[in-house]
């Protein structure tokens, strides 16, 4: 029996993309075509798929997308020079470097070189600092997407206890910050947290960003909790599954996101959103 309301990221993502597409056509009427540059280093197949999806999504709503493919032997200096060139390019409003990068390249240095005005992934130290301070900036797309899911599903956040499982720079850490800004009481957990279920059981909202299939079970969840599954894993049949044991947890949760079709579609949606906001800003600056 299913009890939980399923938060449909595919539908919510579509709705947001539609309004972003409307903004794109308005911008085009004013002479600005939003542009996103994606830098792909090497030939990692997963990265190639992610990049292709991002490009397709851009094209579907009229954003100009430019793919810069660099060989895996590219030097760090060449990559940094490419980013600096894009920082100054008028046709590009968002720059994204697909991670991971080859080992000889310092990822932190690369990300810090992206102009904060074009950091639509929200990963640079300036963007992260501004987010922490609650200042206007580009929010990292996955946690930003989760906030949109909660908003569309009308989940109350203020005063609720949110437990984040995972503390990566791109998901867990910023996720907790965004929930804190909406007045949740936030607990971070990670691989060194003893007795995880005793903590997640206290949560009104659980966000799982671990990268382990079916890791969050019924034993981790208080009846009526909202469960957001960021995980993307493959099972033995190569089928996509999340970090949450959906079949089990949907029987106790009040709301749950499926995998696929939950958080996944929101990440690219918010990337498109951020890129268009960046393009809009150039118009304001021209005035």
Active-site positions read 54, 98, 121
Q: Is 167 annotated as a binding residue?
A: yes
Closest distance to ligand NDP from the beta carbon of 269 (Å) = 10
Cα Rg, the chain, nearest whole Å: 19
- Residues present in the chain in total: 287
CB of 140 to ligand NDP, least distance (A): 9
C-beta closer to ligand NDP: residue 72 or 190? 190
Residue position matching structure tokens 């102009």 = 115
DSSP H or E segment with residue 166: none
Residue 282: CB minimum distance to ligand NDP, A: 27
Q: Does 230 bind ligand NDP (CB under 6 A)?
A: yes
Apex CA 52: angle with CA 46 and CA 56, to 5°?
150
96 binds ligand NDP (CB under 6 A): no
Q: Does 168 bind ligand NDP (CB under 6 A)?
A: yes
Residue 157 marked in a binding site? no
DSSP readout, 192-226? Answer: T-SSHHHHHTT-SEEEE----TT-B-GGG--TT-E
Residue nearest to ligand NDP (CB): 168
Q: Is 171 in the site for ligand NDP (CB under 6 A)?
A: yes
Name the residue among 30, 31, 28, 49 with its Cα closest to residue 40.
Answer: 49
> Least distance (Å) from ligand NDP to the CB of residue 246?
14
Q: How far apart are CA 29 and CA 137, in angstroms?
A: 26
In this structure, is the dihedral angle defined by the CA atoms of residues 15, 17, 21 and 27, taken in order, positive or negative? positive
Q: What is the 3-state secondary structure (H, E, C) of 150-161?
A: HHHCCCCCCCCE
Residue 48 touches ligand NDP, criterion: CB under 6 A: no
Q: Does 165 bind ligand NDP (CB under 6 A)?
A: yes
Please report, as residue ranges, which positions from 253 to 272 form the binding site for ligand NDP (by CB under 6 A). 263-264, 267
CA angle 124, 108, 184 (to 5 degrees): 45
Give binding residues for NADP(+) as ranges: 166-168, 232
Which residues here bind ligand NDP, judged by CB under 6 A? 142, 165-168, 170-172, 189-193, 196, 209-211, 230-233, 263-264, 267
């Amino acid at each position: 029996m299913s009890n939980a309301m399923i938060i449909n990221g595919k539908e919510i993502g579509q709705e947001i993309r539609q309004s972003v597409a409307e903004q794109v056509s308005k911008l085009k009427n004013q002479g600005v075509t939003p542009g996103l540059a994606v830098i792909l280093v090497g030939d990692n197949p997963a990265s190639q798929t992610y990049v292709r999806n991002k490009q397709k999504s851009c094209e579907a709503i009229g954003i100009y997308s430019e793919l810069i493919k660099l060989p895996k032997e590219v030097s760090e200096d060449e990559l940094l020079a490419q980013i600096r060139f894009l920082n100054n390019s008028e046709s590009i409003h968002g720059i994204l470097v697909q991670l991971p990068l080859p080992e000889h390249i310092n990822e932190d240095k690369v990300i810090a070189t992206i102009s904060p005005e074009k950091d639509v992934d929200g990963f640079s130290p300036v963007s992260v600092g501004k987010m922490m301070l609650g200042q206007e900036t580009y929010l990292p797309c996955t946690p930003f997407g989760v906030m949109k899911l909660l908003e569309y599903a009308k989940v109350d956040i203020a005063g609720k206890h949110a437990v984040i499982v995972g503390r990566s720079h791109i998901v867990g850490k910023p996720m907790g910050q965004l929930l804190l800004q909406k007045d949740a009481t936030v607990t971070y957990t990670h691989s060194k947290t003893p007795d995880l279920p005793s903590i997640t059981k206290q949560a009104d909202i659980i966000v799982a960003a671990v990268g382990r299939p079916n890791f969050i079970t019924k034993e981790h969840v208080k009846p009526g909790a909202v469960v957001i599954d960021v995980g993307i894993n493959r099972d033995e049949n190569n089928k996509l599954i999340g970090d949450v044991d959906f079949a089990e947890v949907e029987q106790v949760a009040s709301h749950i996101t499926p995998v696929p079709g939950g958080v996944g579609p929101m990440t690219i949606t918010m990337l498109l959103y951020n890129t268009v906001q960046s393009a809009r800003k150039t118009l304001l600056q021209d005035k």
